[in-house]
Structure 1
Amino acid sequence: MSTLARLVHFRWAVPVLAELHRGRGGRFVNLTHSLGVSRESLRRTLTFLTEAGLIQRNPGKGHPLRPEYLLTDPQLGADAAVLTDLLADLGVTDLGLKKWSLPTLTLLTEQRRFSELRRALPDVTPRALTLTLKDLEAAALITRTVTDAYPPATVYRTTTPGLQLARAAQKVGMMCLP
């Protein structure tokens, strides 16, 4: 789980991997235009992806000040493209690219309580997790149920579209970082 959380800490990491896979531009300017990302955000994301070993500069192409980037693992790019396409199809791209949305969603493939989610995501604050759960529920990606037991408990679980998204995110998370 921590690998996916580290990857999506950079909002543009998954879309950059997908764009490199699609071949719409391996150059900085092309990525800036196709994604609509600021130069500084893209620079930080490319630095992270390069240091993580997920992309590399193309050594035999282009000017040194205008490098072209390549995927180190084509399958990771394909999985990222599937994930970004699914986010777009469900109409939840902005929500899906928030820091804690995908890591939380992948944990909810089985029913869990708030405290279990907090333990599984040690870096998340209670407020961030609460807001994420509310956003995911509003997008119909998870369900929130209050049990009849005493004391009552609130449990969360993915819906069918949420489960599709969670599986796609898990594939990306498993492939990306050591």
Structure 2
Amino acid sequence: MDISLFVNITSRAWAVPILSSLHEGVAGRQAPLLTATGASRSAFAQSIEHLIKMGLLERNPGHGHPLRPEFRLTKAGQAAASLANRIHIASKNEDQNLLRRSWTIPILTSLQRPRYFNEIKRDLSTITDRALSQSLKAMETRHWVRRSVNDAARPPRSLYETINFGSKVSQIAGTEINIPTN
């Protein structure tokens, strides 16, 4: 899977939990998925439509009521769901809020090795400086990322590396996500 596709998947807060739930065998109808993910109806609907537009989910033809359709994973969606499920299994309930943020998992994926701020930004070309900075600070607060300053460089540069749970996510995602080498 390409990093830009992965960034697109994670742009909706509930996309990864929905994919993970479907991979675990939760019925592809709205009520069971809402219960499994804990999403609100509107956020859930937006995430489902997003996954359908990406070609990862499809409406199951001939099943369900028109107002309560059933969804199933496409072939491309199965690979994404497998990855989402491995990340979900490794996480704890208190990790879910930070994992649902748009940039958390892509940033951790980019941190396969210690990287400088601009190197991360190059991998995730659509991220803004502010979004990257805020995400790194949030992960640093949770002890998923460690920041060190290279004082020898002029100007001094911040080096980021994954630790604790951040390392687990980085390793899991790194096995399937292709990041172009610079």
The alpha-carbon deviation at position 94 of structure 1 amounts to 0.9
Identity of aligned residues (%): 34
CA distance in 2 between partners of 1:119 and 1:48 (Å) = 25
CA distance in 1 between partners of 2:127 and 2:81 (Å) = 27
The alpha-carbon deviation at position 109 of structure 1 amounts to 1.3
The alpha-carbon deviation at position 34 of structure 1 amounts to 2.3
Residue type of the partner of 2:48?
L
Q: What pairs up with 1:126-141 in 2 under 5 angstroms? A: 126-141=129-144
> Which structure dedicates a bigger proportion of its chain to strand?
2
Alignment TM-score, normalising by the size of structure 2: 0.85
What stretches of structure 2 of length at least 5 have no aligned partner?
Answer: none
Which of 71, 83, 89 in structure 2 is aligned with 1:69?
71
Give yes or no for the alignment of 1:16 onto 2:18: yes
CA distance in 2 between partners of 1:115 and 1:76 (Å) = 27
Determine the structure 1 residue equivalent to 2:166: 162
CA distance in 2 between partners of 1:98 and 1:46 (Å) = 17
Measured on the aligned residues, the alpha-carbon RMSD in Å equals: 1.9
CA distance in 2 between partners of 1:21 and 1:150 (Å) = 46
Which of 96, 105, 108 in structure 1 is aligned with 2:108?
105
Residue type of the partner of 1:45?
S
Determine the structure 1 residue equivalent to 2:99: 96
CA distance in 2 between partners of 1:30 and 1:155 (Å) = 43
* Conserved 8 A contact 1:101-1:132: yes
CA distance in 2 between partners of 1:122 and 1:46 (Å) = 25
Q: 1:150 to 1:49 in 2, by over 3 A?
A: closer
The alpha-carbon deviation at position 60 of structure 1 amounts to 3.0
* Conserved 8 A contact 1:108-1:158: yes
CA distance in 2 between partners of 1:65 and 1:172 (Å) = 36
Determine the structure 1 residue equivalent to 2:126: 123
What stretches of structure 1 of length at least 5 have no aligned partner?
Answer: none
Determine the structure 2 residue equivalent to 1:79: 83
CA distance in 2 between partners of 1:150 and 1:65 (Å) = 60
Alignment TM-score, normalising by the size of structure 1: 0.87
Q: 1:75 to 1:104 in 2, by over 3 A?
A: closer
Q: Which of 16-25 and 147-156 deviates more?
A: 147-156
Which of 4, 7, 26 in structure 1 is aligned with 2:6?
4
The alpha-carbon deviation at position 171 of structure 1 amounts to 5.0
Aligned residues: 173
Give yes or no for the alignment of 1:149 onto 2:166: no
CA distance in 1 between partners of 2:79 and 2:124 (Å) = 26
* Conserved 8 A contact 1:3-1:173: no
3-state SS of paired residue (2:147): strand
